[in-house]
Structure 1
Amino acid sequence: MPSSSPEEPFAGKSPEEIQELAYGETRTAQFKKVRGQTSGDGMTGIVDLTFVWTHCAGTVRGQGLGTMELHATPDVLHVKRDAEAWRAALKATKAQEDVVVNRIGNRWIKLDAQHSNAKAISVSCQLHDPNIFLQWEAPEISRGASATVDGQPAIMLTYPGADGGTVTDYVATQGRPYLLKRTETGREPSEFTWYDFETVTQIRPPAASEVVDAGEL
């Protein structure tokens, strides 16, 4: 059992309580950023996102999947894909892909946030809430050693992942107990780092003059 001395971070709290506290603080932080990557099916996806409360903006890219920029709000999604990203998304004949790439490649389009395509595109914005990872019943969590994340002191919480790997949460021990990093080993390894908590940031959607009509896409 961990010591409960007053000097110890999270004295008297169980690992489950520490995780719940960290996820709550991270979820409710109005300003934050996340960078990271996840791998599966022989490909790696990389995200670099900024969050201002319920708004999200940044880039998502992957091997063979091109680069996509997005700006998402609860109502509207703006997205800009490069040619490689459009071809990967369309999976059409080259002639059909050429038409789309020539018309709107590397240009912003606008979608209603409830559109099925918009939901699929902006799924990365759910990273503002670490609870996205706990869509299954997590087993008992173990408190591990001290660590540092980008120079910030943290403790490690570990537990088995859903696919047989190991999940490690790094929780800040100074200031607010934010989740600083989350790693998972196994068939689909991933690593995400949250930072710049409550650093006031502005993210703006593209100007109307930069947005083109995407038709039925």
Structure 2
Amino acid sequence: MLSKRSVAASVLCALLATGATACNGDKGGPAAASAPASARPSASPVPTLAVDTLTADQISEQAHAAMAALASVKVDGELTMDGSKLAVHLTSDKQGNCSGTVASPEVGQFELRHSGSKTWLRADETTWKKAVAKEPGATAQDAAIAAELFKGRFITGGDTRAELAEAAMMCNLIKGLFADDSDKGKEKIAKGSAGTTNGVKTFGLTVTTGDGENLTLHVATEGKPYLIRMEQTQGSEPAAFDFSEFDKPFTVQEPAADQVVDFSVFEKKVKKA
């Protein structure tokens, strides 16, 4: 059985467990959220991607370059990790700042904001109670303390708190998905077909990674060759991401002081209980 101190320290880990796993994984896996209408990458007149004359690798390289050059992007998606589904709706910029929501059936939904070195999380009462209940040694009193203390509030834990650092890693969407060339040369890319994805004219690519995973990429053929959708439908961990709001001005609103409570306050209250 965990001590009171251990229970308090584990609550935030439980809340973030699914998100941290998805963030630290290398699969970059994509599942599907509804496609935002704002996915259109640019307005007319626009250049057209020459899919007939370009090779699959060349199309992929152009898409990679376009995404890596973005200042900000919105990602809506769902992925499966270790049998658990994680729904993500986040807007992120190139500096790793972000805001949005992350949810899993096992825990619930929490709002995430990250700016610079500061991270804030806000969850509802049900989510907190689920998070506490998952911890060995936790009591109904622990759950009640967390639910009441964090009701309608964001939690923060200082710049050095490991759990919040892991949550902030979810904000590195652009760096993690589009700036990593570690698999370059190990992938096999094949052409697919033209179509429409989220209201945008696209061309499909099938990518077989060095690990043997198959991904389908839907690249915009008008305007900049942004990646509109990425999906993995095969295997036990399907996933998909939809991308939109390319380079849209984005700022993170820092919560008001009276809406924030430090996680250490909860640790102290649980220790005294």
> What is the TM-score normalised by the length of structure 1?
0.83
Name the residue aligned to 2:77.
Answer: 36
Aligned with residue 81 of structure 1, among 113, 123, 126: 123
Cα deviation for residue 114 of structure 1 reads 4.8
Q: Secondary structure at the match of 2:172?
A: helix
1:49 corresponds to which residue? 90
Aligned counterparts of 1:88 and 1:139: Cα–Cα separation in 2: 41
**Does residue 1:119 correspond to 2:165, yes or no?**
yes
Asked if the contact 2:77/2:240 (under 8 Å) is kept, the reply is: yes
Q: Alpha-carbon deviation of 1:199?
A: 2.6
| AA of the residue aligned to 2:107 | L
For structure 1, the 5+ residue unaligned runs are 1-6
Q: Give the residue type in structure 1 aligned to 2:225.
A: P
User: What residue in structure 1 maps to residue 63 of structure 2?
Assistant: 22
The change in CA–CA distance for 1:196 and 1:144 in structure 2 (over 3 A counts) is: same
Question: Aligned residue for 2:214?
Answer: 166
Residue in structure 1 matched with residue 114 of structure 2 by the alignment: 72
When residues 146 and 126 of structure 1 are mapped into structure 2, their CA distance, relative to the original with a 3 A threshold, is same
* 1:18 shift after superposition: 2.3
> Partners in 2 of 1:109 and 1:61 — Cα distance?
16
Higher relative contact order, structure no. (Cα contacts within 8 Å, ≥ 6 residues apart): 2
What TM-score, normalized to structure 2? 0.67
Question: May I ask how many residue pairs the two structures share in their alignment?
Answer: 212
CA deviations on 1:54-103 (whole Å, 9 max, x unpaired) are 22000001112111101112311111122343345443313323222221
Indicate if the aligned counterparts of 1:75 and 1:114 stay in contact, CA closer than 8 A.
no
8 Å CA contact retained: 2:157, 2:164: yes
Name 2:15's counterpart in structure 1: none
The structure carrying a bigger strand percent of its residues is 1
**Structure-2 change in CA distance of 1:67 and 1:146 (3 Å):** same
The structure with the greater share of residues assigned to helix is 2
Q: Greater CA deviation, 149-158 or 162-171?
A: 162-171
User: Counterpart of 1:188 in 2: which secondary structure?
Assistant: coil
Does the 8 A contact of 1:86 with 1:105 survive in 2? no
Distance 1:148 1:184 in 2: 18
Which secondary structure does the structure 2 equivalent of 1:145 belong to? strand
Question: 2:73–2:248: 8 Å Cα contact kept in structure 1?
Answer: yes
In 1, Cα distance between equivalents of 2:126 and 2:99: 20
* Contact 2:93-2:174 within 8 A present in 1 as well: no
Matched residue type, 2:84: M
Per-residue deviation, 1:135: 6.0
Residue 194 of structure 2, aligned match among 146, 152, 161: 146
- Which stretch has the larger CA shift, 149-158 or 201-210? 201-210
- Structure 2 residue ranges without an equivalent (≥5): 1-47, 268-273
2:173 match: secondary structure: helix
Counterpart contact for 2:92–2:172, Cα < 8 Å: no
Is the contact between residue 94 and residue 172 of structure 2 (CA under 8 Å) also seen in structure 1? no
Contact 2:120 2:155 in 1 (8 A): yes
Corresponding position: 1:63 with 2:105: yes
* CA shift for structure 1 position 8: 5.8
Choose from 138, 148, 152 the match for 1:102. 148
- The answer for the alignment partner of 1:131 in structure 2 is 178
Q: Distance in 2 between matches of 1:41 and 1:51?
A: 25
Q: Deviations over 1:149-168 (max 9, x none)?
A: 11111111112357755200
Task: Give the direction of change, closer, same or farther, for the CA distance of 1:59–1:148 in structure 2 (3 Å limit).
Answer: same
- 1:3 corresponding residue in structure 2: none
Paired residue secondary structure (2:100): strand
* 2-structure distance, mates of 1:112, 1:12: 53
> What displacement does 1:202 show?
3.7
1:123 and 1:200 mapped to 2: Cα distance? 21
The share of aligned pairs that are identical, in percent, is: 26
